[in-house]
Structure 1
Amino acid sequence: MNTIYGFGNALVDVEIKLEEAQLKEVGIEKGSMKHISSQDLNMFLDLYSDQIFSKLPGGSIANSLHAANQNNATTHFSCSIGDDDYGKYFIDSFDDKRGSISFSKSKLSTGICLIFVTPDGQRTMAAHLGANLDLCPKSIELERLQSSEFLLFDNFSMSSPGGLETTKYALASAMKSKVCFGVSDVSLVSENLENLQWLSNIGIHLLFGNKNEMSLINNSINMHAENILVTYGAEGASYNDISVQAPEIEIVNSNGAGDALIGTFLTCLSTENDYTSLKKAVDYASEVCKSNGPRIK
């Protein structure tokens, strides 16, 4: 069974139900992500306090590794957290015997991501990174990294000096691991063009993202990867020249679906062919959409 090592943002997702008109007042484009200050975070929490319906461990790479655990992969996650209740809550979510975690402690508070969920189940995100800004190489568990088949991380980790330093350290240390990289969000493409080109030159085994992210990156930079995985929401996903339709479901909340898809796909590759792996990944991601929260318990 595959072993997957990931590093990235440690976030607690605070899910908030909003009407379409309220989302327009928030001022973030529907379906996208924006980084916010601690002042904005507290403002939104106060403004929509009676519309909060869940607080759950999140973070895109952590969500992917949870899905991989659910499909019997062995995983390890590295991150930076605050010395607070949210940090302890996040650490305690790694209680699966196949999943482990290493972390550095920050003086900043643990990161929080507000997930604004509209009636159609689509999510729009506002993230206060907090302690994630202090992600650093010392959080990396070298022995586990060097024994892993896949190294999984995303564009969020290259958006801060510490995250970029950690990325370079991990890549230099994991010469035998297959590099899997997520585009993460359209807002990060233009911000990270130079770093994206640098990563492309090093070599990417798998590049993944949704159709909007992949379209933008193709129009912005000459980025090469051995394999490409694209998600299309309710329409399914593609892997190189293979496409799979998603089952028709009633979407409750799409938060974490793409994360779950990539984690499941990488796990299934150890025992299944490409088509079957993608089919199982799409089906698992669809199950995530049937309930609130980014992870299936």
Structure 2
Amino acid sequence: MSKNYDMFGIGTALVDYFVRSSEEILIKNGLIKGATNFIPRRRLDELHAGLSSSILACFPGDNARNVCEGINFLGGKSAYASCIARDKEGELFESSLHAQHIASFLKKKPGRTGKTITFITPDFQRTFAADLGNSIEYESLPADGIKNSNFLYLTSITLLTEGNISENARKAIKFAKENDVRISISLENPPMINENKKDLR
């Protein structure tokens, strides 16, 4: 029996702002090159304001969302779940799912949608300054969506970030196993992985 979706992604919904950067800017702001640096939203907004003239582009991001888009581009069907806010970034993120025909299981809460500044250095390495915003508060178990998918897709950030999303991701894995849904996990952010190898095993 065929299922509704090839993949069901649970992720950390955010919007990516891309800037060209020197290594000096990374050092000045205490950012670990090539990693995802989680910083308070106020500091992230201050960085954003200071770099506004250097922003190259702005796109909806998140590993799981991007994989969903890729699957749909190749002719498959995907679904995506996370938590956003009713703000500019949230509207952009939600509209991107509709535009890419990704089935939306988004939840909305008061607060802020996740945001990332992606610093691109001359060697084309990407370094991220991020606040995951409302995405860490995702606490629904989209049972019907998962059950009707061939794969459940998660990331190490989804599994290891403090908040409702980590506990919920583990529940989703358990539910997927009980319903013979295969599981795929993307390993992101080397410093986080090194600190949490036991949990990932």
Question: How does the TM-score come out when normalised to structure 1?
Answer: 0.62
Tell me how far apart the structure 1 counterparts of residues 32 and 115 of structure 2 sit (CA, whole Å).
19
Q: Which letter maps to 2:79?
A: H
What are the within-5 Å matches in structure 2 for residues 46-65 of structure 1? Answer: 46-65=49-68
Amino acid at match of 1:5: F
Task: Kindly indicate whether the alpha-carbon contact (under 8 Å) linking 2:84 and 2:109 is maintained by their aligned counterparts in 1.
Answer: yes
Equivalent position to 1:11, from 11, 14, 17:
14
Higher relative contact order (CA 8 A, sep 6+): 2
CA 1:97–1:12 in structure 2 vs 1: closer, same or farther (change >3 Å)? Answer: closer
Q: Which residue of the other structure, out of 168, 188, 195, is the alignment partner of 1:184?
A: 188
Larger Rg: 1
Q: What is the aligned partner in structure 2 of residue 162 from structure 1?
A: 164
User: 1:24 is paired with a residue of what secondary structure?
Assistant: helix
Residue 142 of structure 1 pairs with residue 165 of structure 2: no
Q: What residue identity is the alignment partner of 1:155? A: S
CA deviation vs aligned residue, 1:228-265 (integer Å, no higher than 9, x gap): xxxxxxxxxxxxxxxxxxxxxxxxxxxxxxxxxxxxxx
- State how far apart, in whole Å, the 1-side matches of 2:100 and 2:59 are: 20
Q: CA–CA distance in 1 between the matches of 2:87 and 2:156?
A: 26
- Match of residue 24 from structure 2: 21
Distance in 1 of aligned mates of 2:23 and 2:173: 42
Q: Partners of 1:74 and 1:174 in 2: how far apart?
A: 18
Deviations 1:99-127 (A, max 9, x none): 21112222220000110011232210011
RMSD of aligned residue pairs (Cα, Å): 1.8
1-structure distance, mates of 2:19, 2:42:
18
Moved more, 47-56 or 71-80: 47-56
If each structure's strand is expressed as a fraction of its own residues, which one has the higher value? Answer: 2
TM-score normalised to structure 2 length: 0.89
User: Percent identity between the aligned chains?
Assistant: 24
Q: Which amino acid aligns with 1:145?
A: I
2:127 matched residue in structure 1: 124
Q: Please give the alpha-carbon distance, in whole angstroms, between the structure 1 residues aligned to 2:100 and 2:63.
A: 20
Query: Contact 1:72/1:98 (CA < 8 Å) preserved in 2?
Result: no
- Is 1:67 equivalent to 2:70 in the alignment? yes
Unaligned runs of 5+ in 2: none
Q: Please give the secondary structure, in 2, of the residue aligned with 1:151.
A: strand
Contact preservation (8 Å) 1:116, 1:125 = yes
Structure 1, unaligned stretches of length 5 or more? 198-297
| Aligned residue-pair number | 195
| In 2, Cα distance between equivalents of 1:96 and 1:4 | 18
Cα displacement (A) at 1:165: 1.7
